[in-house]
Structure 1
Amino acid sequence: MKYRFPGQLLAAALILVTSLAQAAPELLFSTTPEWVEILEPVESKRPSQGSVRVHLSNSQLRHRGKEQQYYFQIVVEPLNQQGVSEIAELNFSFYPAFQRLQVHDISVQRNGEHLDRLQKDGFKLFQSEQELSNKLYSEQWNALYILEDIRPGDIISYAYTIEGSNPIFARSDFGRLYLSWPQAVDRRFVKISSDKKLNYRFNKREYSVQQSHLQDNHTYTIDLRDVAGVPMESEYPYWHDPLNYFQYSSYDNWGQVNDWAQNLYQIDRTLPESLKNKLDNWRAQLGLEAAVSKAIQYVQEDIRYFGIELGINSHQPRTPQETLEKRYGDCKDKALLLTSMLAHLGIQSYPALVSSSRGRDIGKDIPSPETFNHVINLIELNNREYWVDATASGQGIDIENKGFFDYELALPITKQTNALKAVNPSSESVANLSARIEEQYDINAAENLAELRVNSRFSHRKAEQVRQFFLSADTEQIKNSYTNFIAGYYPGVNTSPEITYNDSLQENQLVVSEHYQIGDFAQISSARKIFSLYGSALVPYLSKPQHPIRQSPLTLTHPVDIQQSARVNIQGELLWQEELGTTTIDNSWFNFTRSAKLENSALQVVYNFKSKVDHVEPQEVPEYLAEFNKLDRALQYKFWAKGEASSKRNKSQEMKNLIKSLIRK
């Protein structure tokens, strides 16, 4: 997760959406609005620490119907040169199609003297399309102001107001304001006024909210002192936000949000005759179920994903006709097109609002449109439910075998919807990251050389991930990627491997075959060649925390079902190997087994790993780490081999030497 310094809180404080296209906006300057309550920083006994001290963070909002005004003020002090670097560039983001940016103050206090630093010609206006990497265009603008001659100990203050809200919303009175950041804050002030009564909640710690009601004005005030900074740990689940925020909304239930969403989708869903004929032919030739799968594949593969989310198109889809003509669309465009195509086949389908960034966490939300940032499809077929993401690609053909994206909760846009609905896979297999890897090692112990053949079968979600890699990379990139992975375990691998793959789109399975020549295969220890096998296929799915003492849960990859087997044929003599039989590690987070046996003078080691949950609670991380370390040790399996048979006497002496060596280690 990314966080922003309080001076750049616009994006983090409010969920602002996209705009109508227009030319470079005009930057406005004014005094502080009359409706804003004037505040001063407070004295704090908290010692100054770190690079920056935040004396005041002041957010005040005013909602009247569709109109919104957001006032923000920050008073901050750099404590050292690092702090100067962090705060000396001010960046104001807004959507000029429906918003106006008014700057009120940029000033510095130095040695008790007030210095006005607001120069109207000091701003640089530019478009910032940060979402283009995700194939979205929304025309956000930034106003950049670079403060000059800033020194440690200066008290910097600036304030601005953003007026206006996206006209697609029936009303503007919803949002969230962060109350904590990685930096401590001497005073955090929030004041929200609305012409409607608001519902609210806190993400973490609850605080007192002062409420007042006068005629048609409802006011909610939070005034906090000495707000502690929040340690920003890594490796926590995407649905977990470690920072505390205040969420508010005038919506009373999800049914009201659904009513708003339904109005957006009441548009012309007519399909062109050519597409209707195509759908009819699919049904006649393939049957209904296969025709449904073909329709999904058509929207996923033939209509490219790209969104121009300007104004009402931030939330309202384009007509299927327009999407077909352009041959591209964003999530809502593709979802509506698919719904319309399936309706022609007589299949009930609905666009469904989800959060791709928060998952299950939206179940705690107060209902409002800001909860959602993505649209998928709920399809009812043969008395079963299928959740399909029309923006996905490389998913194969059959709806039964498409990998499942776990958005966890959704709001289907139907007349009956009045609550969030659980997003469940049609079967367990389509949700798993599943792989079956078979390795064969042919080892020449005398020459310390090995030939390695790997056959990997990937299914459903994992097949789709691997397929995307093979579709996007050229031959050399593929060889380089695979060789470097093997080199992490066997540095002597030849850099010219054979890599081929066979793809089955109908079953959504992909098989990759690898062939390597490896020199210096064994490690030389006390004049003995100690060979090692590794459960390397499991490693990408295992999580070892960088910070075992933590406040946030530790994320785990889930659901994972991996089997890796290694068969070792030795040209020479196997003198010793680690314990045969089965090693089992079973706990609340995963089940792992390693089985080793000798079969027809060949050594066979099989690793199995299944995840159980997607996270570890903070207080359980030390226990999880102990289990992880046991698994990590079990992933390496060692054995000793010689190129020529030795006499029983020499063999016995060498075994004694090996045992002594192992004891010393």
Structure 2
Amino acid sequence: MLKNLFTVVFSFLFISLNFAQIKKITTPNWVEMQTYASEPKIDFDEVTQGTLILLYDQQTEVDKEENYFKVVTKITENVGIQEASSINVSFDPSYQKLSFHEINIVRNGKIISKLNTSEFQTIRQELDAENYIYDGSLSAITHISDVRVGDIIEYSFTRKGYNPIHKDYFAEYYNLNNSHPIGKINVKITSKNKLEVKSIKNKLKFDEAFDNNKYTYSLLEENINATHFEDNTPLWYLDANFIEIGNYKSWENLIDWGTQLFKVRDNLSSSLLKKINVIDKENTSKGQKIAAALQFVQDEVRYLGLENGISAYKPSSPNKVFKQRFGDCKDKSLLLVTILNRMNIEAYPVLVSTYLKKTVTNLLPNPAHFNHCVVKVIDENKGEYWYDPTITNQGGTFNKVVFPDYRFGLVLKKGNKDLEEIFPFADNTIDITDHYILSEVGKGATLKITSVYSEAEADNIRFYFKNNSIINIQKEFEKFYSDYHANIKSLGKPEYTDNLKTNTFTINETYKIDSIWEPSYLENHIGIDFSPYTITNVLSMPSKIERKTPFELSYPITRSHTINVELPEAWNVNEDNFNISTPNIFYDFDVLYNKSENLLTLKHLLKIQKDFVSVAEFPGFYNDLKKLDNELNYNISYNKGGNTTSTGSVLKYLGIFMFICFLLFFTWLAFKLYQYNITPKIESYYEENKPIGGWLILIGIGLCISPIRVFMDLLSTEIYLSGDWLVYFSSEDFSISIGLLLIIETLFNAAVLVFLPLIIVLFLKKRSSFPKVYATFLIVYLVFILSDSFLASALTETDGLTGLEEKQLLKTFISTGIIVPYLLLSERVKETFLKSYQ
């Protein structure tokens, strides 16, 4: 609210320019005058652009249809003179009158009047003209002379008149957030009727009073700090200081108002009836008729909004829209509804918000919350379908036309009482296959790209191709890929196939890369990086892990990116898989290698699962993105000495060798431990050669399963058995602390693989050393995994353990706490394990 009021717009579409008779009148007697402090108690370090708002005062007389405003601004730096000395107030001349009360400069305590109505200009500015929307509003503009640093600029005015389309309804909202500090805000509304008030996520609220048969709602705040907005916060997220007020009692109340606005009262023209008859006769099924009507309204009736006065809410007659072949969203929606209803197909206009989404359900009924109009259709099988008539060149059958994720809509149907939820069905997939043919090591390559766009992505790329020349598209595509390969050149125009029925758009491109190899960070190596650009273009790494608001995601989208590389000779490639699956994103990465064809295949799949990440989920999401970011770029490198290798494969082999050495060392140690004897204390009542029984059977089963489970875990983790633990020491992310932790983990895993079979042998042979050896193993294992888990979390800066890790730690802690005392104290154990090493 404040931002729009104080921002000077420098680019206008000048449709009219004249010197208007702006009235000068005294301040209305119903206004309560407000004082302000020239030095408010705010943080002056937050003052930007050289201006400070000392007072924002808005007072409303609902019954008189008058809105009074007063703005007081102090100029703190010379850069603020330009903005503060220009006054720009908009109004709609079709139903509003604008009167100014004062324009003053306060300098050193003296008031200098600058109000001269003859110096005002009225300009018809169309701020949304680039979107073909013209609202007919005027701006009264004047420029104050002789403004200096330190001056205080005061101006006040009244706008009289409400849009007659609202009749006796009143609704207003106040977004009191501002990126600048404010000295004082005063808001007051007076009405003979009681109004509904709602505050969103803030402690501010209107004080309500009733006096002289009138209700007064007032809010007064002083020394308001600046609000700092986080990047990637969804538009639907309303932060603190959002208050709304109005007299719409329910959504049903608003639906009834909208139903009357969209009621067609004229008989349909003969030309429109003729068009409807053509659609009706040329198509047999209702689905085909829906598709034909939608295609006509979308593609043959252009979008143009003339929305001054009541036209901002009331749609034009379908006859008029059909004849002129243009209209805004509500005009086109009503035309489509009229055509379908005439063919006995149930259809209704729907008011939606393109940005509020689910938040609209938490607000008071207000037509201003809706900035768009679409259509709901019900076919003969009671199937519900949603269409946006303002989108052009959409593909798909009538039941598979993509609808944007508006989430909730107000269906203007008599008897409806609430908003309806809209569920997006599309995946909006882009499937890319990059096929590299490497001629020889150190030389160039041929790149063939096949791109398949589906659903909304097909609609978007279809629109792009229709609006650009094929030569321009070829140049833009070549420029795009040059960010990844410097010496790339297109070998021909992109070839495309557009399948409207399946709504898929396929593009084939071919490029020549003169030199694709680049120096590697490994000495005497050259390499190539392969990046799934369709995924990196969708996901961006947040700047920090702390967050106070939800994080917006592009939704719904799916990206599949396959990179095939025909290698010039045999290559050492370690096949691999990486996977992230959370409520927010799903990502899968596979590295495959076909030895017979020397073909390396990298498969990336990303699916965004939600439209936002909550504040509670964000730390985990941030850590997942860090892991994903480490996997996105894949590098192959070549040793100029003649060895072909994928990055770090030499170190991998060395890592495998070292792991085997660790196994051999612990095997020798295990043999020594096998010879370790404990002299048992034998009681006279002990049964000779007592068999293993009781709870020991369960312990034995668990022991026998443990080596298999540990080995499977190591196979799934791969980093130790494959030697990847040593590759880390050559990476750019190397740190001594993490390196030491990896060495200790590798040693521990090798020890576990050896000592578990030893403990099983001791158990089966009923050796006297078994209880102490196994109890010691369990305690050491528990201490290690606890220490390792928390150290790993601290060193990698992850926010604690995952739920699965916590459960595993808890299970280990409980089982150790039960088994260890049993092994050391149980009479059954003492009587069973009595045999010594021979």
Give the TM-score, by structure 1 length. Answer: 0.90
2:130 is aligned, of 120, 133, 148, to 133
Write out per-residue CA displacement over residues 16-38 of structure 1, whole angstroms, 9 at most, x where no aligned residue: xxxxx999753111111111001
Write out per-residue CA displacement over residues 572-629 of structure 1, whole angstroms, 9 at most, x where no aligned residue: 342x44x422111223321111101111321111000011111123454443222212
Counterpart AA for 1:46:
I
Preserved contact between residue 254 and residue 420 of structure 1 (Cα < 8 Å): yes
Distance, in Å, in 2 between the alignment partners of 1:209 and 1:285 is 60
Q: What corresponds to 1:442 in structure 2?
A: 437
Distance, in Å, in 1 between the alignment partners of 2:617 and 2:225 is 25
1:153 is aligned, of 129, 150, 155, to 150
Q: What corresponds to 1:506 in structure 2?
A: 501
Write out per-residue CA displacement over residues 28-57 of structure 1, whole angstroms, 9 at most, x where no aligned residue: 111111110011014743343323332211
Counterpart AA for 2:258:
A
Residues 654 and 406 from structure 1, CA distance in 2 versus in 1: closer, same or farther, beyond 3 angstroms? closer
Q: What corresponds to 1:46 in structure 2?
A: 42
Q: What corresponds to 1:627 in structure 2?
A: 624
- How far off its partner does 1:88 sit? 2.5
Q: What corresponds to 2:210 in structure 1?
A: 213
- State which drifts further: 357-366 or 621-630: 621-630
Q: What corresponds to 2:159 in structure 1?
A: 162
Tell me whether 1:175 sits opposite 2:172 in the alignment: yes
1:236 is aligned, of 221, 233, 237, to 233
Preserved contact between residue 444 and residue 572 of structure 1 (Cα < 8 Å): no
Spell out the pairing of 1:242-641 with structure 2 (5 A cutoff): 242=239, 244-268=241-265, 270-288=267-285, 289-381=287-379, 382-396=381-395, 398-425=397-424, 428=425, 431-495=426-490, 497-525=492-520, 526-546=523-543, 548-574=545-571, 576-577=572-573, 579-599=574-594, 600=596, 601-618=598-615, 620-641=617-638
Counterpart of 1:168 in 2: which secondary structure? Answer: helix
Distance, in Å, in 2 between the alignment partners of 1:434 and 1:347 is 31
Preserved contact between residue 105 and residue 152 of structure 2 (Cα < 8 Å): yes
Q: What corresponds to 2:92 in structure 1?
A: 95
Preserved contact between residue 19 and residue 118 of structure 2 (Cα < 8 Å): no
Distance, in Å, in 2 between the alignment partners of 1:144 and 1:282 is 51
Q: What corresponds to 1:17 in structure 2?
A: none
Taking only the aligned residue pairs, the percentage that are identical comes to 25
Tell me whether 1:663 sits opposite 2:730 in the alignment: yes
- How far off its partner does 1:541 sit? 1.5
Residues 495 and 657 from structure 1, CA distance in 2 versus in 1: closer, same or farther, beyond 3 angstroms? farther
Distance, in Å, in 2 between the alignment partners of 1:653 and 1:415 is 74
- How far off its partner does 1:387 sit? 0.8
- Is the helix fraction higher in 1 or 2? 2
Counterpart of 2:494 in 1: which secondary structure? Answer: strand
Counterpart of 1:396 in 2: which secondary structure? Answer: coil
- How far off its partner does 1:554 sit? 1.8
- How far off its partner does 1:515 sit? 0.8
- How far off its partner does 1:538 sit? 1.1
Give the gaps of 5 or more residues in structure 1.
11-20
Preserved contact between residue 43 and residue 225 of structure 2 (Cα < 8 Å): no
- How far off its partner does 1:162 sit? 0.7
Counterpart AA for 1:663:
S
Counterpart AA for 2:41:
K
Preserved contact between residue 22 and residue 97 of structure 1 (Cα < 8 Å): no
Distance, in Å, in 2 between the alignment partners of 1:335 and 1:313 is 14
- How far off its partner does 1:280 sit? 4.2
- State which drifts further: 168-177 or 411-420: 168-177
Give the gaps of 5 or more residues in structure 2.
10-15, 656-725, 733-838
Counterpart of 2:148 in 1: which secondary structure? Answer: coil
Q: What corresponds to 2:722 in structure 1?
A: none
Tell me whether 1:194 sits opposite 2:261 in the alignment: no
Write out per-residue CA displacement over residues 271-327 of structure 1, whole angstroms, 9 at most, x where no aligned residue: 444554554454444322112111111111111111111322221112211111101
Residues 348 and 24 from structure 1, CA distance in 2 versus in 1: closer, same or farther, beyond 3 angstroms? farther
Spell out the pairing of 1:60-99 with structure 2 (5 A cutoff): 60-64=59-63, 67-99=64-96
- How far off its partner does 1:363 sit? 1.2
- How far off its partner does 1:646 sit? 6.4
Distance, in Å, in 2 between the alignment partners of 1:653 and 1:73 is 74
Q: What corresponds to 2:793 in structure 1?
A: none
Higher RCO structure, 1 or 2 (CA under 8 Å, sep 6+): 1
Preserved contact between residue 270 and residue 320 of structure 1 (Cα < 8 Å): no
Write out per-residue CA displacement over residues 92-112 of structure 1, whole angstroms, 9 at most, x where no aligned residue: 111111111111111122222
Larger Rg: 2
- Is the strand fraction higher in 1 or 2? 1
- State which drifts further: 37-46 or 509-518: 37-46
- How far off its partner does 1:543 sit? 3.1
- State which drifts further: 212-221 or 379-388: 212-221
- How far off its partner does 1:506 sit? 1.3
Distance, in Å, in 2 between the alignment partners of 1:195 and 1:456 is 63
Residues 507 and 170 from structure 1, CA distance in 2 versus in 1: closer, same or farther, beyond 3 angstroms? same
Counterpart AA for 1:399:
F
Residues 282 and 187 from structure 1, CA distance in 2 versus in 1: closer, same or farther, beyond 3 angstroms? closer
Counterpart AA for 2:42:
R
Kindly tell me the number of residue pairs found equivalent between the two proteins.
644
Preserved contact between residue 262 and residue 413 of structure 1 (Cα < 8 Å): yes
Tell me whether 1:31 sits opposite 2:26 in the alignment: yes
1:144 is aligned, of 120, 141, 145, to 141
Preserved contact between residue 377 and residue 384 of structure 2 (Cα < 8 Å): yes
Give the TM-score, by structure 2 length. Answer: 0.72
Counterpart AA for 1:336:
L
Write out per-residue CA displacement over residues 475-498 of structure 1, whole angstroms, 9 at most, x where no aligned residue: 232112211221111111115553
Tell me whether 1:106 sits opposite 2:106 in the alignment: no
Residues 398 and 312 from structure 1, CA distance in 2 versus in 1: closer, same or farther, beyond 3 angstroms? same
Write out per-residue CA displacement over residues 398-432 of structure 1, whole angstroms, 9 at most, x where no aligned residue: 2122112111111111111111111224xx2xx22
Residues 30 and 549 from structure 1, CA distance in 2 versus in 1: closer, same or farther, beyond 3 angstroms? farther
- How far off its partner does 1:389 sit? 0.6
Distance, in Å, in 1 between the alignment partners of 2:493 and 2:638 is 27
Distance, in Å, in 1 between the alignment partners of 2:178 and 2:149 is 21
Counterpart AA for 1:59:
Q
- How far off its partner does 1:342 sit? 0.8
Counterpart of 1:130 in 2: which secondary structure? Answer: coil
Preserved contact between residue 335 and residue 377 of structure 1 (Cα < 8 Å): yes
Counterpart of 1:202 in 2: which secondary structure? Answer: strand
- How far off its partner does 1:122 sit? 2.8
Write out per-residue CA displacement over residues 232-253 of structure 1, whole angstroms, 9 at most, x where no aligned residue: 3332212124462321111110
Distance, in Å, in 2 between the alignment partners of 1:652 and 1:335 is 62
Runs of 4+ deviating beyond 6 Å: 21-24, 642-648, 651-662
Counterpart AA for 1:594:
F
Distance, in Å, in 1 between the alignment partners of 2:548 and 2:273 is 55
Q: What corresponds to 1:184 in structure 2?
A: 181
Counterpart of 2:335 in 1: which secondary structure? Answer: helix
Q: What corresponds to 2:828 in structure 1?
A: none
